[in-house]
Amino acid sequence: MHRARWRPTWANGQTPSACLLSARLLAACLLATPAYAQSPGGEGLSPTLANIKATHTVRLGYRESSPPFSFLDHSNRPIGYSLELCEAIVEEIGVEVDDANLKIEHVKVTSDDRIPAIVQNKIDLECGSTTANAERGKQVAFSPLMFVAGTKLMVPKASGVSQVADLKGKTVVVTKGTTNEQAMHNVDKKLSLGLNIVTAGDHEQSYQMLVDGKADAFATDDILLYGLIARHKSQATFRVTGDYLSYDPYGIMYRKGEPQMKDVVERTFRKLATNRDIVPLYNKWFIARLPTGEKLNVAISPQLEEAFKALDDSAGGAN
């Protein structure tokens, strides 16, 4: 097997193998969640749940161009794997607050403003393609593992680039506010590549910079690169290349310090795993043809399969 030339680490200094074996290990990589005072006017509910009960509405943050996790269909309606997971959480919230008719309000977020949107109470759940790591765990909470990705490069097919070292002195675009941005700065410093690292507001804009020849490569999570190539039918124009420059476990993001909300989110994932619904849901968005016509055909990874099994095992142990 081909070995990576550079072995990336997490923000807390751990290697990927220490954190990607199961949902339990992912949780161990995040910081502990402190207790949060319950809302006095919410009938004993935590602040997020009390507000949802009062407004009968759950606000879901979505991304416009992160297929197949969160993107727009041909009618500009938010759809995707992450949004379906969030909808399952909304059902469980309905049980918790005794309201079976909760409304969903979709709120657009970007990679740059998604964490402030959670912290500043603009959304209740962020349903996108967000990496759960210790640094972000200081500000927000994450669901159990829902996907494992890693930073790779998209380059023109005619390009001679096969590894990040081939980009010495060249321009790389990254999407602002992503872990990929930090990964590229890290590898640039480590390998002394002299990269010109530029940012764009979202993945679609980063992709367009590559199309327009304003960048020699676009660096982001491999699954998002494959999704963009499929969406734009640009298989003959671009390719994904290079070793992994980071390892990125995804989770649904919500407000930190609310144990009751944490219980609802984790209960949702355990139910999906126990009822054997989570793998068919994965297959719907990663194996089957998408509602917008693309087909990614990305098989479930051993790490994610193990994480789903760990959820099932933990649910069984609790019964």
Which residue in 28, 250, 264, 311 sits closest to 124, CA to CA? 264
Q: How confident is the model at residue 43 (pLDDT cuts 50, 70, 90)?
A: low
pTM: 0.84
Using an 8 Å Cβ cutoff, are 129 and 70 in contact? yes
233-239: Cβ within 8 A, 24+ apart: 236/157, 237/156, 237/157, 238/154, 238/155, 238/156, 238/157, 238/210, 239/154, 239/155, 239/156, 239/157
Q: Answer whether residue 8 shows pLDDT above 80.
A: no
At residue 32, the pLDDT reads: 39
At residue 33, the pLDDT reads: 40
Condensed to tens digits (0 to 9), the pLDDT of residues 155-192 reads 999 999 999 999 999 999 999 999 999 999 999 999 99
- Quote the CA–CA distance of 49 and 296 in Å, as a whole number: 36
Stretch 250-277: mean pLDDT: 96
Stretch 226-253: mean pLDDT: 95
What are the structural domains of the chain?
16-148+249-314 (3.40.190.10), 151-246 (3.40.190.10)
Which residue in 132, 167, 126 sits closest to 147, CA to CA? 132
Stretch 277-304: mean pLDDT: 94
78: left (phi over 0), alpha (psi -120 to 50) or beta: beta
At residue 316, the pLDDT reads: 67
Range with the poorest average pLDDT among 1-5, 39-43, 129-133, 306-310: 1-5
Cis geometry, peptide bond prior to residue 68 (ω within 30 degrees of 0): yes
**Pairwise pLDDT comparison (66 vs 303), residue with the higher score:** 66
